[in-house]
């Protein structure tokens, strides 16, 4: 579905991604873990053309998205939705208008269909409809993050890129979001790439785990493979999980 | 602080940015609804301050001119002198400072925080163009609103002058107004409008440029605001100097 080949990216001489290659199959849930500042967000942004890598190729169903211009990228963004690390809701618009934003532009639907999708997507993230007329500043951070997820879900992309979807959320909501990602993958064949710090979640639902450090992939494989890893940083991540359980 | 080479580089970047704005404008246009919203917002933000400073500046000009005019017994020209200098010189500069301090700083902080909280990225991902949806309405809004603010500010400066002329200099309203048409020529009005327009243009370019190009954390939003105000002031002062230089030469040649 998506194939990254030799992705390199640096900012004013400082290398952030150094030769990243991996691939993601349809319906798969891939977790990307790594410490702060290793370029996880940068990697996701490259996937939808918000940034261009300095070199390398990103094939999305056979199309190299690195070569596409902003107009051609719209087609990709319909199929590949990104959920940002920040809630990234538009402050001046209500929750309803935020949710309708992409539906109007990417999908050009009529008002009834939009209303339907808005309600459905809010339900998907366990939010009640009475926040629809509120501004983002009037709801809690956790709710903002969920509205942000709903905004992307409403477009019904085939691929979802989550940038730390559960960071800052309570455990109940965290479980609900992970459950949602799992259901989307198993029921609707939605492919998900999830950037996270949470090895526990990764072990629960990932098909594949990739661990980044200083712009390099230091470990990748299935959950069982990564659990057996001898790489020090990966072992640290694992330790975190066993500490949580005990 | 900033070396000459950096300055030239920076100017080049402004030009590239402007070219991007205008080509996007030509290609995609801009929503009238968003534009009206922004014009109103800029106007509303500067409304009270413009009223207040208009009245006081008008008053100050009148007091200043009164002291000079008394020596020549030319009281009748007070209204004309005061009004025309507000229109030509003080008004546009005043509006520029107001716009830069309030609207310019506000806009660059607003855009900067939209940038670092990934709202601009989200706009692109949801199928919209941030230049047409966010930048252009603000950019054009500032320029158009500055014209209205100028008219409005000058009106209040006139009222302030009129009042002060009556209270301080003992000149009747009639006398104050009588010679205005004689001194307030079409050229001085045009000069004032062009000046206000070019200052507003500079502010609009810089505040959207620095806001839109913010990256990193919250600290950089503050930095964007600082860069906006410093370079706005600098460029406005240089422009004004350059304009007076041109005017001097021009007058020397033709008069
Ligand atoms: N637009 C940009 N301009 C310059 N540097 C950038 C830009 N975006 C990211 N960086 C730099 O790239 C590096 C990686 O950033 P990134 O946001 O991808 O980290 P991350 O792995 O997502 O970290 P975190 O877990 O804290 O979100 C950081 O050092 C950041 O400063
Ligand atoms: Mg990140």
Chain segment A200-214, per-residue pLDDT in tens: 889 999 999 999 999
The pLDDT > 90 percentage for chain A reads 75
Looking at chain A, which residues constitute the CATH 3.40.50.300 domain(s)? 2-79+158-245
Task: Please indicate whether, in this complex, the C-beta atoms of A77 and B127 are within 8 angstroms of each other.
Answer: yes
* B249 within a domain of the structure (yes/no): no
Residue nearest ligand 1's atom 14 by CA = A39
Q: Which CATH class is domain A2-79+158-245?
A: alpha beta
The ligand minimizing its distance to the Cα of A197 is 1
Q: Is the CB of A167 within 6 Å of ligand 1?
A: no
**Residues in chain A within 8 Å Cβ distance of B126:** 77, 101-102, 105-106, 151, 155
CB A219 within 8 A of CB A210: yes
Could you tell me if B122 lies within 8 Å of chain A, comparing CB atoms? yes
- pLDDT over threshold 60, residue B255: no
* B23 within a domain of the structure (yes/no): no
- pLDDT over threshold 90, residue B247: no
- pLDDT over threshold 90, residue B75: no
Task: Scan residues 97-116 of B and list those with Cβ closer than 8 Å to A.
Answer: 114
Substitution target from A65, A77, A90, A106 for chain B, most B beta carbons within 10 A: A90
* Phi, psi (degrees; rounded to nearest 5) at B214: -70, 140
- Which of B118, B120, B215 to probe ligand 1 with, by most ligand atoms within 8 A of CB? B215
* B254 within a domain of the structure (yes/no): no
Q: What is the pTM for the complete model shown?
A: 0.90
Q: Which pLDDT does position B254 carry in this prediction?
A: 55
Provide the pLDDT confidence category of residue B93 given band limits of 50, 70 and 90.
Answer: confident
**What is the rounded average pLDDT of the residues B49-62?**
91
- Angstrom distances, CA of residue A177 to CA of A130, A191, A204, B72, B233: 20, 15, 12, 83, 50
| 3-state per-residue secondary structure call for B50-79 | HHHHHHHHHHHHHHHHHHHHHHHCCHHHHH
- A47, B22, B180, A150: which is closest to A17 by C-alpha? A47
**What is the rounded average pLDDT of the residues B133-144?**
95
Cα gap A159→A176, rounded to integer Å: 19
CB B208 within 8 A of CB B110: no
* B5 within a domain of the structure (yes/no): no
* B20 within a domain of the structure (yes/no): no
Q: Judging by DSSP bridges, how do beta strands A63-64 and A55-60 pair with one another?
A: antiparallel
Task: Please indicate whether, in this complex, the C-beta atoms of B124 and A70 are within 8 angstroms of each other.
Answer: yes
Residues B228-247: b if buried by 16+ CB within 10 A, e if exposed: bbebbbebbeebbeeeeeee
Could you tell me if A102 lies within 8 Å of chain B, comparing CB atoms? yes
CB A16 within 8 A of CB A205: no
Task: Please indicate whether, in this complex, the C-beta atoms of B118 and A78 are within 8 angstroms of each other.
Answer: no
- B207, B38, B31: which is closest to B133 by C-alpha? B31
DSSP letter (8 states) at residue A38: S
* B138 within a domain of the structure (yes/no): yes
Could you tell me if B117 lies within 8 Å of chain A, comparing CB atoms? yes
Q: Is the CB of A215 within 6 Å of ligand 1?
A: no
A236's CB contacts (< 8 A; 6+ apart) are none
Burial class (CB in 10 A: 0-12, 13-18, 19+), B187: exposed
Q: How many domains does chain B have?
A: 1
- B229, B232, B199: which is closest to B95 by C-alpha? B199
Could you tell me if B249 lies within 8 Å of chain A, comparing CB atoms? no
Provide the pLDDT confidence category of residue B253 given band limits of 50, 70 and 90.
Answer: low
Cα gap B236→B200, rounded to integer Å: 9
**What is the rounded average pLDDT of the residues B183-194?**
87
Residue nearest ligand 1's atom 1 by CA = B215
Structure tokens that stand for B184 in this block: 């307030």
Task: Please indicate whether, in this complex, the C-beta atoms of A105 and B126 are within 8 angstroms of each other.
Answer: yes
Prediction ipTM score? 0.92
A50 C-beta neighbours (distance < 10 Å), count: 20
| Predicted confidence (pLDDT) per residue in A150-165, tens digit | 999 999 999 999 999 9
Domain range holding B117? 31-243
Could you tell me if B118 lies within 8 Å of chain A, comparing CB atoms? yes
CB B147 within 8 A of CB B197: yes
Burial class (CB in 10 A: 0-12, 13-18, 19+), A14: exposed
């Amino acid at each position: 579905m998506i194939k990254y080949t030799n992705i390199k990216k640096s900012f004013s001489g400082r290398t952030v991604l150094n030769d990243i290659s991996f691939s993601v199959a349809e319906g798969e849930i891939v977790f990307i873990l790594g410490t702060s500042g290793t370029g996880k967000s940068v990697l996701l942004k490259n996937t939808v053309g918000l940034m261009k890598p300095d070199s390398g190729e990103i094939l999305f169903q056979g199309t190299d998205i690195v070569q596409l211009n902003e107009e051609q990228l719209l087609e990709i963004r319909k199929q590949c939705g990104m959920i940002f690390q920040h809630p990234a809701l538009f402050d001046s618009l209500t929750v309803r208008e935020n949710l309708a934003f992409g539906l109007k532009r990417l999908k050009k639907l009529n008002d009834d269909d939009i209303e339907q999708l808005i309600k459905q997507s809010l339900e998907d993230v366990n939010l009640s409809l009475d926040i629809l007329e509120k501004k983002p500043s009037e709801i809690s951070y956790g709710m903002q993050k969920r509205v942000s997820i709903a905004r992307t879900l409403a477009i019904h992309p085939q691929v979802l890129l989550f940038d730390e979807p559960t960071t800052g959320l309570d455990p109940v909501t965290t479980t609900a979001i992970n459950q949602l990602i799992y259901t989307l993958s198993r029921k609707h064949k939605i492919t998900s790439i999830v950037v996270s710090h949470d090895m526990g979640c990764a072990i629960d639902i990932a098909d594949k785990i990739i661990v980044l450090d200083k712009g390099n992939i230091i470990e990748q494989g299935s959950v069982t493979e990564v659990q057996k890893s001898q790489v020090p940083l990966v072992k640290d991540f694992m330790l975190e999980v066993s500490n949580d359980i005990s | 602080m900033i070396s000459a080479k950096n300055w030239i580089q920076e100017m080049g970047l402004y030009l590239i940015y402007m070219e991007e704005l205008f080509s996007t404008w030509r290609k995609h246009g801009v929503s009238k609804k968003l534009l009206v919203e922004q014009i109103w917002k800029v106007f509303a933000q500067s409304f009270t301050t413009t009223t207040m400073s208009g009245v006081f500046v008008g008053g100050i000009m009148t007091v200043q001119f009164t002291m000079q005019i008394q020596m020549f017994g030319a009281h009748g020209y007070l209204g004309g002198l005061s009004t025309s200098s507000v229109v030509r010189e003080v008004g546009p500069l005043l509006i520029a400072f107001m716009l830069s301090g309030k609207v310019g700083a506000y806009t660059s902080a607003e855009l900067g925080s939209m940038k670092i909280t990934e709202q601009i990225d989200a706009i692109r991902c949801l199928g919209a163009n941030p230049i047409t949806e966010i930048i252009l309405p603000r950019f054009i809004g500032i320029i158009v609103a500055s014209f209205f603010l100028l008219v409005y500010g000058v009106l209040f400066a006139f009222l302030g002058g009129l009042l002060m002329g009556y209270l301080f200099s003992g000149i009747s309203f009639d006398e104050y107004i009588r010679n205005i048409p004689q001194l307030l020529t079409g050229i001085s009005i045009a000069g004032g409008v062009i000046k206000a327009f070019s200052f507003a243009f500079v502010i609009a370019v810089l505040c959207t440029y620095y806001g839109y190009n913010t990256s990193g954390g919250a600290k950089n939003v503050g930095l964007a605001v600082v860069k906006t105000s410093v370079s706005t002031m600098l460029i406005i002062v240089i422009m004004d100097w350059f304009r007076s230089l041109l005017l001097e030469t021009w007058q020397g040649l033709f008069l």
